[in-house]
Structure 1
């Protein structure tokens, strides 16, 4: 028993010589439960809609838009909430999200299931900006990156493992999704209250006065470098997000590839996060050596190549495309999360990130429906995937040719 406990500490605990803060395992337990929701609200939810409940492609688009709707709503949420107890601000919407997941486990038709999954996704993401504030309070600066990185690492492994397991279970027994959602929701609901008990060290974070929407527009009009970069990122995002929705329909719909649940889960829920995980160190090294414009061009090209392969060679083309897309997405995450700071003048980082988040939410809500509409009414899959890739390559070219790196940017 002692050996088992020691092994668990080595695997789940922070790497030596970092000491374990008292809040670490509370945070780890909740984040692992949160990770368990990702496949249930992503690739597995699409499989259930298309292959178990015989739902429509528009319902697939609806759940693809859920997280982005939450991201969009996070701006007014974080603008007006009180940050004196940020763990409650962060966790309360998630309590409601776990309840929505429990209800999704009882849903027997595609419409109610997709609506509840959409609601859960939106609620999970509405308080996501609070997480950064929480980590400032929970962990000391000198160990924060190490501890959060270890948590994210195990969360990613959990997503891959659950995606494969749930895909296999649904392939064997389609009705097995009912207890899976109910169990995950109950465990998450309980653990959420454990998370709210985390001691933040009584550090009070002052409420930040955020600019209005008109201030955002003024910045976009005045800062030409930033506005051009945002415009071409918007073009990239529309193409990429719509392409993800099209790919989900393509691998699950019987009119196209119509793969079994376990193979669909492999392509959409296992290979991309695995490729992201294996490539993130490589991308980090590239990010530190070149400027954000060059970096964004390279990552966009890799993402576009994934869409080129999707319609080729049946299952194996989709297999190769999923790996390539996951590699590009791993690099794109860095550009999305911190690359934008290269354009922000000193003292305006939060404002520029808010603009970036808002525009991401807008395109993320629109794009899935646009992609599904184009697949249903306008184009064959190969034509559409290659058109999406062309738009992504165009955004990369325009970014490289027309966007100038700010003089104060990293060199």
Structure 2
């Protein structure tokens, strides 16, 4: 006898229950990309500059693969949760290879596959949340699970750091633990509700990029996001350099820099993600985006122009506030704009553009810092963020037409 389909409320409850469990698993393997993949390459394998460069690109490379991943999922007809599970299992397998074969080329290649698998499927996860969470609670439910994930990731980062400090040979076991967590995440995805993606049109693996031509409002917002994201990402590697390099006049110790750049924003992100999730559900999204861009701008100005410890502290508080809201907005904003069946297509474009600027912006800023005064670079970064705020203005009046996937009349050509 055919099983009765779940009601929307049953889908929501089951997804939320499994997502809270999956957030624990994700919190275990998430520190790989942010900390341990490169750390193990440098400290354990004594990787050279080329290997380090490859190790640093895994996540961004995965973001660039968003459009062909969505095209594959549309063609395969798989339920979106099963497609997500497949990428988690691929990540687990790659991490097991990295743990089992103690050779630098194998470690880097397997690690790149693992990191790319973790980010390439992000458009599918956004579609998954659109299918299973109602729009009036989507941000809140997502942010609660995100807070669990962030807390677990912080604990794992501390514990794994202590474990590796005791003996770097523990890196193999650490990778195996992360592989098990990725497999658990895949199993939980497999048991979650989900529907296949709409088949889509065309056969080109990057056909999702056609949405930039079809939807003028979406194209406008992608430009806004590119300006803000580029301006923000430019400054990411420079904060550490600004604090620790004597030529800038501060020469903070590694511990002092880690407190300001690592701990302060992490506390703010952990404390405020849930609050930003509730705001995402309740307020005009473009006002929310403008508020986030403003806090990113204030972070830049306080951190780089005040020239004191309190300036650094206030700047990192603003950055943590921005990241807390940005985590929710970045992951879910296309659900406010895209037709329900095309959320994955829209998110694939967004992740592709994020990957592109994630590769270019930090490299450009490090190059510019070699011969330009820091205030000039801050002015360039802040100017890009200001430009994004100016371009957001015209969209404020169209939000009520676009909310929850209802397109503006001239926007979508379907």
Task: Decide: shared fold, TM above 0.5.
Answer: yes
Q: 1:323-342: per-residue Cα shift (whole Å, max 9, x none)?
A: 21110122223332333333
Q: TM-score, normalised by structure 1?
A: 0.73
Shift of 1:346: 6.0
Which residue of the other structure, out of 212, 218, 229, is the alignment partner of 1:237?
A: 229
Change (3 A) 1:234 1:127: same
Partner residue of 2:408?
A: none
Between stretches 291-300 and 119-128, larger displacement belongs to 119-128
Shift of 1:236: 1.0
Which residue of the other structure, out of 302, 323, 331, is the alignment partner of 2:325?
A: 331
Change (3 A) 1:158 1:22: closer
Give the Cα–Cα distance (whole angstroms) in 1 for the partners of residues 394 and 152 of structure 2. 40
SS of equivalent residue, structure 1 residue 209? coil
Shift of 1:177: 4.9
Whether 2:170 is the aligned partner of 1:185: answer no
Shift of 1:156: 0.9
Give the Cα–Cα distance (whole angstroms) in 2 for the partners of residues 337 and 359 of structure 1. 14
Shift of 1:186: 1.0
Matches within 5 A, 1:2-401: 31-43=23-35, 65-81=57-73, 82=76, 83=78, 85-86=82-83, 88-99=85-96, 102=99, 118-131=112-125, 150-164=144-158, 173=165, 176-179=167-170, 181-198=171-188, 200=190, 205-211=195-201, 212=204, 216=208, 218-251=210-243, 259-311=252-304, 312-313=306-307, 316-345=310-339, 347-376=341-370, 378-401=371-394
SS of equivalent residue, structure 2 residue 65? helix
Cα pair 1:275 1:327 within 8 Å, conserved: yes
Change (3 A) 1:237 1:140: closer
Cα pair 1:246 1:371 within 8 Å, conserved: yes
Shift of 1:294: 2.1
Shift of 1:91: 1.9
Give the Cα–Cα distance (whole angstroms) in 2 for the partners of residues 137 and 402 of structure 1. 26
Give the Cα–Cα distance (whole angstroms) in 2 for the partners of residues 207 and 265 of structure 1. 43
Provide structure 1 residue ranges, at least 5 long, that are not aligned to the other structure: 1-19
Shift of 1:298: 1.4
Cα pair 2:71 2:207 within 8 Å, conserved: no
Shift of 1:260: 4.2
SS of equivalent residue, structure 1 residue 338? helix
Shift of 1:206: 3.0
SS of equivalent residue, structure 1 residue 42? helix
Change (3 A) 1:176 1:367: farther
Give the Cα–Cα distance (whole angstroms) in 1 for the partners of residues 206 and 325 of structure 2. 32
Give the Cα–Cα distance (whole angstroms) in 1 for the partners of residues 229 and 269 of structure 2. 18
Cα pair 1:33 1:184 within 8 Å, conserved: no
Change (3 A) 1:365 1:67: same
Give the Cα–Cα distance (whole angstroms) in 1 for the partners of residues 285 and 53 of structure 2. 31
Give the Cα–Cα distance (whole angstroms) in 1 for the partners of residues 311 and 49 of structure 2. 22
Cα RMSD after superposing both structures: 4.5
Shift of 1:364: 2.1
Cα pair 1:65 1:365 within 8 Å, conserved: yes
Change (3 A) 1:380 1:142: closer
Q: 1:215-240: per-residue Cα shift (whole Å, max 9, x none)?
A: 55554234332222211211111111
Partner residue of 2:5?
A: none
Change (3 A) 1:144 1:394: closer
Instruction: Kindly tell me the number of residue pairs found equivalent between the two proteins.
Output: 384
Between stretches 140-149 and 357-366, larger displacement belongs to 140-149
